Amino acid sequence: MNGEYYQESNGPTDSYVAISQVNRLQSEPESIRKWREEQMKHLEVLYANSQKQEAEWKEKAIKELEEWYTRQDKQLQKTTVNNRAAEKAFVNDVEEPSGPEWGRVAWLCDFNPKSSKQAKDVSCMHSVLISLKQAPLVH
């Protein structure tokens, strides 16, 4: 009996909340009630529009992402083809030595001072290789 009474006590509390809401609605003026309904409709329209716009943005983002991936794949394929061609040319040049050894060494060296990223002074080696290129040693 005690448990039944306790469980019933939750019910009347809910009914009191419902009665207070009815009292509030009854005491609310008609103009405020109309405004509240209009606001609810307006908010529903805004929410629907925002959901629609969000869906459009997601579709647009997916499309742009796919286009970016296709561009990246094409660029990667071009780079791969170019690198393989450069590698074949380099391997052919290395495997088929032309001229004396200093000529091959000079070909591998970059003598452009602007593109040189070395911190060491290689001017002495540079001058030796250029002099060997101009006047090769005779054995």
The pLDDT of residue 57: 97
Mean pLDDT across the chain:
79
The string over 35-52, giving b where at least 16 C-beta atoms fall within 10 Å of a residue's C-beta and e elsewhere, is eeeeeeeeeeeeeeeeee
- For residues 118 and 62, give the distance between their C-alpha atoms in angstroms, rounded to a whole number: 45
Q: Domain residues of the chain, as ranges?
A: 2-96, 99-139
Q: What does pTM read for this prediction?
A: 0.43
Q: Which pLDDT belongs to residue 29?
A: 82
* pLDDT, tens digit, 9 for 90 and up, residues 11-47: 456 777 777 776 666 677 888 889 999 999 999 999 9
Q: Evaluate if residue 86 carries a pLDDT over 80.
A: yes
Q: What is the DSSP string of 30-61?
A: HHHHHHHHHHHHHHHHHHHHHHHHHHHHHHHH
Within the chain, residue ranges assigned H as helices are 2-27, 30-95, 101-108, 123-134
